[in-house]
Amino acid sequence: MTNQPKLRPAIAALPTYKAGKKVAGVDGLEPFKLSSNENPTPPLPSVVKAIADAANDIHRYPDPFVTELSEKLAKKFEVPVEAIATGTGSVGVCQQIMQAVADIGDEVIYAWRSFEAYPIITKIVGATPVEVPLTKTGHHDLPAMLNAITERTRLILICTPNNPTGSVVNHKELKEFLTKVPKDILVVIDEAYVEFNRDDESVVGLDLYREFSNVGVLRTFSKAYGLAALRVGFFVGPLNVADAVRKTAVPFGVSNIAQAAAIVSLEHEDELLARVQELVKLRSWFESELKKLGFNLPASQANFVWLPLGDRTDEFVTKCAELAVAVRPFSGEGVRISIGEKPALERVLDALSGLN
């Protein structure tokens, strides 16, 4: 017997989520954070006003059903409102999905490397992660993912554009894959970065949701809409799953401030998507500069790029830190660099040109 309360074994073995680091100050240099795939543009004045107005009501609980936002989303995507479930960021919704479909010992398949929260939230519910390595080009290996399906598979996560490689899954290939997945296994297409995608042949999650009874889509207001701190994301999926995902939500999890900001963001979507287009242009510029330095990378369709620097990763990250720029290292593998402010990206290029 120990003198500490016992934890579930699955929890004791959990890795801790590594959030993108803040930048340590360097004399005379403005610090930049390119480590969390955040939107560098500040909120729209209309959004700030909605937040300020909503602040007057924070002594009341928020609408637990997130009614107005869900209705707006249902209208936008032409889906029944019952197909929508919201939560505290799409990672919160993803955890709600896990709790809804995966029991202890069940299996959850996803590509690896991919979004770092997947293994954590899989293990929280006591399910077993089945990680299928990406191909050499950083793409999902759909045939291998199909082969990984067993009797215990309950959920397959498809991250497109994939974090951290920025690669997308081809629509036709995923459709072909879905025809072979048993219909009692939920397939969730995580489209956190979809607004940054300019590849016409890549997955259109909502089309696949309409076509397959076991497909759902995960979206967020954190990236293109710039509401990362407010924690609001949503799922569009089969009615029975959406219903279950509402049941597993933390009650009142999406604050009134988050709801109000998301609603106003949808109303000003054109302005926000114009800003996204600027970031996409900046990504193209950054990628062409990287090519000039000799990096031949597959195109990223997200608001970040992946540099497979292997054992030079740590050295490069230190060089960036010396220039007051935080990037996201995956030691021994590579670095993910968010498309943030241009001066920050210029410093990253300086750090790269000085690399051994």
- Residues 222-241 touching ligand PLP, rule: CB under 6 A, are 222, 228, 233
Here's the x/- map for ligand PLP, 79-98, by CB under 6 A: it reads as ----------xxx-------
Angle at 16 between CA 126 and CA 164, to 5 degrees: 95
Cα torsion at 237, 242, 248, 251 (round to 10°)? 110
Q: Contact region for ligand PLP (CB under 6 A) — 64-72, 174-182, 220-228, 328-336?
A: 220-228
Name the pairing type of β-strands 215-220 and 233-236: antiparallel
CB of 117 to ligand PLP, least distance (A): 7
CB of 118 to ligand PLP, least distance (A): 9
| DSSP assignment letter at 254 | S
Assess 303 for contact with ligand PLP (CB under 6 A).
no
Task: Give the Cα separation of 299 and 18 in Å (integer).
Answer: 25
Nearer to ligand PLP, 91 or 102 (CB): 91
Nearer to ligand PLP, 163 or 214 (CB): 163
Assess 37 for contact with ligand PLP (CB under 6 A).
yes
By beta carbon distance, the residue nearest ligand PLP is 89
CB of 225 to ligand PLP, least distance (A): 10
Assess 39 for contact with ligand PLP (CB under 6 A).
no
Nearer to ligand PLP, 190 or 287 (CB): 190
Assess 253 for contact with ligand PLP (CB under 6 A).
no
Place of tokens 């926000």: 272
Query: Which residue from 163, 165, 214, 265 is in contact with ligand PLP, where contact means CB under 6 A?
Result: 163
Residue in 303, 302, 234, 238 with CA at minimum distance from that of residue 263:
234
Assess 190 for contact with ligand PLP (CB under 6 A).
yes
Omega within 30 of 0 (cis) for the link into 343: no
Tokens of residue 142, six digits: 């759909």
Phi, psi (degrees; rounded to nearest 5) at 32: -130, 140
Nearer to ligand PLP, 197 or 220 (CB): 220
CB of 309 to ligand PLP, least distance (A): 20
CB of 304 to ligand PLP, least distance (A): 9
CB of 305 to ligand PLP, least distance (A): 14
Assess 70 for contact with ligand PLP (CB under 6 A).
no
Assess 304 for contact with ligand PLP (CB under 6 A).
no
Question: What is the amino acid identity at position 183?
Answer: K
Assess 338 for contact with ligand PLP (CB under 6 A).
no
CB of 344 to ligand PLP, least distance (A): 18
What is the side-by-side order of every strand in the sheet holding 215-220?
Answer: 84-87, 233-236, 215-220, 186-190, 153-159, 107-112, 128-133
Q: Is 304 helix (H, G, I), strand (E, B) or coil?
A: strand
In 56-201, alpha helices (H): 67-77, 89-101, 117-124, 142-147, 171-180
Q: Which residues contact 179 (CB under 8 A, 6 or more apart)?
A: none
Give me the half-sphere count of Cα atoms (radius 13 Å) on the Cβ side of residue 343. 6
Assess 38 for contact with ligand PLP (CB under 6 A).
no
> What CA–CA distances, in Å, run from 52 to 60, 93, 322?
15, 26, 38
- Residues 87-146 touching ligand PLP, rule: CB under 6 A, are 89-91, 115
Assess 159 for contact with ligand PLP (CB under 6 A).
yes
Q: Which residues pair with 70 in a beta bridge?
A: none
Assess 279 for contact with ligand PLP (CB under 6 A).
no
Place of tokens 């759902």: 216
Nearer to ligand PLP, 86 or 313 (CB): 86
Q: Which chain residues interact with ligand PLP by CB under 6 A?
A: 37, 89-91, 115, 159, 163, 190, 192, 220, 222, 228, 233
